[in-house]
Chains A and B, each alone.
Chain A
Amino acid sequence: MNVRKFLATTVVLTVIGGAAAGCSGETNNNAAGDNKDAGAVKQEVTLNYRTEPGALDVSKTTQIAGFTVLNAVGEGLYRMNKDNKAEPALAKDMPKVSADGKTYTITLRDGVTYSDGTPVKAQDFVYSFQRSVDPATKALYSFMVAWVKGGADVQKAKTPEEVEAKKKEMGVKAIDDKTLEITLERPIPFFTEQLSFLTFFPQRQDVVDKFGNKNGADAESVIGAGPFKLEKWAHEQQLVLVKNDKYWDKDNVKLEKVTLNIVKEESTGLNLFQTGASDLQVISADNIGLWEGKPEYVLQPELSSWYIKLNEKNVPAFANKKVRQALGMAIDNKAYIETVMGKGPVPATGFVPNGTSDGNGNEFRKSAGDLMPKFDPEKAKALLKEGLAELGLQSLPNFTIQVDDHNTGPKSVEFIVAQWKQNLGVDVTAQPLPHKLRVDNENNHKYQASVSGWGADYNDPMTFLDMWITGGEFNDVDWSNPEYDKLITAAQNELDKAKRAQYMVDAEKILLQEMPILPNYFRALSWVKSTKIDGMLFPPYGVEFELKWASVK
């Protein structure tokens, strides 16, 4: 009897176990140990990758993890080089731009093909752009392609027939197999750089039709014209890239194989890095202190700005400029970074982060200078007093500041609240929330103050500055300044790049004087990279790293 009972349970377990074993077949491939054997320099690297990319589909990818892989597997008309300048890639040379800055005529390089040998045609770009703005594609990044004339009309079309009709009117045309003509809604000074972003990569209709909803879901459906091919994609585990021998510039691609192991836990990633099982790992907070100054350490500035939002509608006192300035001036941003983040980010010197181009060949931050009021508790106290007097208040009413409840969020808010208490005598309630709820509250204007951040969608100050125009979609601080609105509108319509840049500099000055938001720091990512890897680039936006010119020393 006892044995029978034992057997019964064993059978149950065996059935389940057998089913499980049947499911695990595909994942047992080695790669981690491949480059352990030193000696001959193999052009192979193994990198820890912190997340599983979503769909590797030119239209549908929204995460930086996906951008990075697609940028290795695919290519656009241009590619960003080590100086963050666009250089011809699938395009033969730089575009011919019409006098009004709206029409770009681009000729493709001779003999460019996808990794399967099929030629890249101008029509593939037309198809790609049209597919991205088609509402049926559900492309979250379609807003960029909607800069192309008529793109927004396709997005808004209601019926499939209307979508097709609007697509034909869109400002992207294949003059012949090699000539592409793109007409924009309005001039965009940074559009050539933007053409290097994956949303503007070519796509093949035959591939998309063949794989349908599964396009970009597996290695076989990811076909690009870039320096590498996606040879293998074991979901949640590993992606293997190998050199694409059909790439037009294959002579400049040194790496033969790149293995990306999905390692989400930083400490595990570092353990693997230390044992030599990996050549790259992203690091944060405490680990930066341990690696900084060593040859493995790489600091990658991001086009990402972090700041405190003050909602003027929900806290009437925030409508007073002096109150806002006082709150901003009372926070020591240098100490904030050192206390909360260890190292990495740099204190904000304005709202637009370091590294952002001004659209006129210069760096915006250098043109605009340091606009951030200095940390000055005494002056902050005086300003608060004046501001409160203007409002007829004795003290600042208690308000709540929301923050993400993970990563550095809780420590951040603790620091900010302590600074305000210590330097201004103001009591503030901290409210850590899940990221999505924090953002949701902001979108719905249901918060008083919020620790927030914004990363660039493209390398131009406008991605940061047009947020704060009156009634703007993302202006959730409910601040309004007619002068600011005027400058942004002027910049949006200005063809002269120098004038345009100046308008944006002037706009940012107003923003930093008025302080509807209190800038704190510009974020930077820290990595440890094996010293044997040479030529790997860490661009400030768009992708996490660029492998085209990387090699093993």
Chain B
Amino acid sequence: MLRYTLRRLLYAVITIWLIVTLTFVLMKNLPGDPFENSEKLTQEQKAILARQYGLDKPLSEQYFLYLGNVIKGDLGVSFQYPARKVTEVIGQGMGASMELGIWSILLALAGGITLGTIAALRHNTNWDYTAMFTAVAGVSIPSFVLGPLLSYFVGVKLKWLPPGLWFEPEHRILPAIALSFGTMAILARLMRTSMLDVVNQDYIKTAKAKGLSGSSIVLKHIFRNALLPIVTIIGPVFVGVITGTLVVEQIFSVPGLGKHFVQSILTNDYTMISGLTIFYSVILVFVLFLTDIAYGFIDPRIRLAKGKG
């Protein structure tokens, strides 16, 4: 187990190093320069700034400086917000992004599992068709369409909920719905397929033959076993949701990290771009690493197979 864990850890570190390096290379190839009002800066001023931010040093030197700083957890100072460190900006935005991500994943889980279960148990009935129609709609309607629709109709026309901002609990509802809809649809379809698979297994027939009650079969056998594929994908889905909040955050004015991504790219804020990329990669790699370890811990077959490979 230790060897397996160390090996996983090594892979994780290599992955992060590759991402850090790639980000550096890509960033250096971005056209333009990172200073706002650059159209108004003279060449002399630009040279001064480049010198101050170390952009005039040889690339290799810049790379090692950057790598050293990343290891120390110093992602530099944002070019756009000169008084704030990138880690601070990320720290401040992470709370809202994570919170929105968690709300929406909970919503997606509750909705998806319910819809999928209903659809499977009422297979080929109107219940099934309605649930699956909702699921198809969920996959088809992107959040950048659903978000403004919710904001306008629920917020302005019906006045049920605030159309934007992020202060009170009620401010969380619309963005969480907008963000969860797609994931909910995927989970519903997965749950339905998975349940239908289980229903046709021999052990369910056995259970029925043994005369177990319907609800007992559903709860103890079908539901629990059908949940497995959902559990398997929930880690990556979670990361997907918290990193995929960009559009929804923008629409509902959520003070999260998403907007920094777009803005930092538009303004060539090198330190911010690389900082965010590294931050997200580390989260993803970390979640995958923990999931791997958890699997290895739970199921020795996985550990052995990977260990030998």
Interfacial residues, chain A to chain B (CB-CB below 8 A): 1-6, 8-9, 11-13, 16-17, 19-33, 52, 54-55, 57, 60, 62-63, 135, 138, 140, 143, 155, 213-217, 234-238, 261-265, 267-269, 271-272, 274-275, 277, 406, 434-437, 439-440, 442-443, 454, 457, 473-474
Q: Which of B123-131, B155-163, B209-217 contacts A (4 or more CB under 8 A)?
A: B155-163
B94 at the A interface (CB under 8 A): yes
Q: Are B235 and A271 in contact (CB under 8 A)?
A: no
Residues of B within 8 A of A12 (CB): 235, 287, 290-291, 294
Residues of B within 8 A of A268 (CB): 148, 151, 163-164, 251-253
Q: For the complex, what is the distance from the CA of A63 to the CA of B36, rounded to whole Å? A: 8
Q: For the complex, what is the distance from the CA of A138 to the CA of B79, rounded to whole Å? A: 11
> 3 closest pairs, A vs B, by CB?
A20-B98, A24-B95, A436-B32
Q: Are B164 and A29 in contact (CB under 8 A)?
A: no
Q: Mark B205-235, 1 if CB is under 8 A from A, else 0.
A: 0000000000000000000110110010011
Residues of B within 8 A of A143 (CB): 42, 45
Given A235-B89, A235-B92, A237-B255, list of 15 further CB < 8 A pairs? A1-B299, A2-B228, A8-B297, A21-B99, A23-B94, A30-B168, A54-B81, A140-B37, A215-B83, A217-B83, A217-B84, A262-B253, A272-B162, A277-B162, A436-B32
Q: For the complex, what is the distance from the CA of A9 to the CA of B289, rounded to whole Å? A: 11
Shortest CB distance A527–B (Å): 18
Cβ-neighbour of B93 out of A25, A63, A236, A439 (below 8 A)? A236
Cβ-neighbour of A436 out of B84, B259, B266 (below 8 A)? B266
Q: Are B95 and A20 in contact (CB under 8 A)?
A: yes
Q: Are B255 and A262 in contact (CB under 8 A)?
A: yes
Contacts known (A5-B294, A27-B95, A55-B81); A275 close to B159, Cβ less than 8 A: yes
Contacts known (A13-B238, A32-B167, A434-B31); A236 close to B82, Cβ less than 8 A: no
Contacts known (A24-B95, A264-B259); A436 close to B83, Cβ less than 8 A: no
Q: For the complex, what is the distance from the CA of A217 to the CA of B81, rounded to whole Å? A: 8
Cβ-neighbour of B33 out of A25, A31, A277, A440 (below 8 A)? A440
What size tier do the contact residues of chain B reach? 35 or more
B132-190 interface with A by 8 A CB criterion: 148, 151-152, 155-156, 159, 162-168
B96 at the A interface (CB under 8 A): yes
Q: Are A17 and B89 in contact (CB under 8 A)?
A: no
B18 at the A interface (CB under 8 A): no
B43 at the A interface (CB under 8 A): yes
Q: Are A271 and B163 in contact (CB under 8 A)?
A: yes
Q: For the complex, what is the distance from the CA of A442 to the CA of B101, rounded to whole Å? A: 42
Shortest CB distance A217–B (Å): 4
Q: Are A138 and B49 in contact (CB under 8 A)?
A: yes
Shortest CB distance B244–A (Å): 15
Shortest CB distance A131–B (Å): 14
Q: Are A9 and B294 in contact (CB under 8 A)?
A: yes
Contacts known (A12-B294, A21-B99, A436-B32); A264 close to B152, Cβ less than 8 A: no
Q: For the complex, what is the distance from the CA of A52 to the CA of B92, rounded to whole Å? A: 13
Q: For the complex, what is the distance from the CA of A1 to the CA of B94, rounded to whole Å? A: 34
B102 at the A interface (CB under 8 A): yes
Shortest CB distance B196–A (Å): 18
Q: For the complex, what is the distance from the CA of A138 to the CA of B159, rounded to whole Å? A: 47
Contacts known (A140-B45, A217-B84, A265-B251); A8 close to B294, Cβ less than 8 A: yes
Cβ-neighbour of B253 out of A19, A214, A263 (below 8 A)? A263
Q: Are B163 and A8 in contact (CB under 8 A)?
A: no
Contacts known (A6-B231, A20-B95, A277-B162); A213 close to B83, Cβ less than 8 A: yes
Q: Are A27 and B267 in contact (CB under 8 A)?
A: no
Residues of B within 8 A of A2 (CB): 224-225, 227-228
Jot down 20 A-B pairs with beta carbons below 8 A, ordered by A. A5-B294, A5-B298, A17-B102, A24-B99, A55-B81, A62-B37, A135-B52, A217-B83, A217-B84, A236-B259, A262-B255, A263-B253, A269-B164, A271-B163, A272-B163, A277-B163, A436-B268, A442-B39, A457-B40, A473-B43
Residues of A within 8 A of B307 (CB): none
- From B259, which residue of chain A is reached at the shortest CB distance? A264
Q: For the complex, what is the distance from the CA of A19 to the CA of B97, rounded to whole Å? A: 12
Q: For the complex, what is the distance from the CA of A140 to the CA of B235, rounded to whole Å? A: 45
Residues of B within 8 A of A217 (CB): 81, 83-84
Cβ-neighbour of A277 out of B42, B52, B165, B268 (below 8 A)? B165
Cβ-neighbour of A55 out of B82, B91, B156, B235 (below 8 A)? B82
Residues of B within 8 A of A29 (CB): 167
Q: Are B168 and A33 in contact (CB under 8 A)?
A: yes
Residues of B within 8 A of A406 (CB): 266
Cβ-neighbour of B231 out of A5, A443, A474 (below 8 A)? A5
B7-60 interface with A by 8 A CB criterion: 31-33, 35-43, 45, 48-49, 52
Cβ-neighbour of B291 out of A9, A17, A215, A263 (below 8 A)? A9
Among B156, B255, B287, B299, the one with the most A-chain Cβ atoms within 10 Å of its Cβ is B255
Shortest CB distance A243–B (Å): 22
B250 at the A interface (CB under 8 A): yes
Contacts known (A5-B228, A60-B83); A274 close to B32, Cβ less than 8 A: no
B295 at the A interface (CB under 8 A): yes
- From A138, which residue of chain B is reached at the shortest CB distance? B52
B80 at the A interface (CB under 8 A): yes
Residues of A within 8 A of B42 (CB): 143, 473
Shortest CB distance B163–A (Å): 4
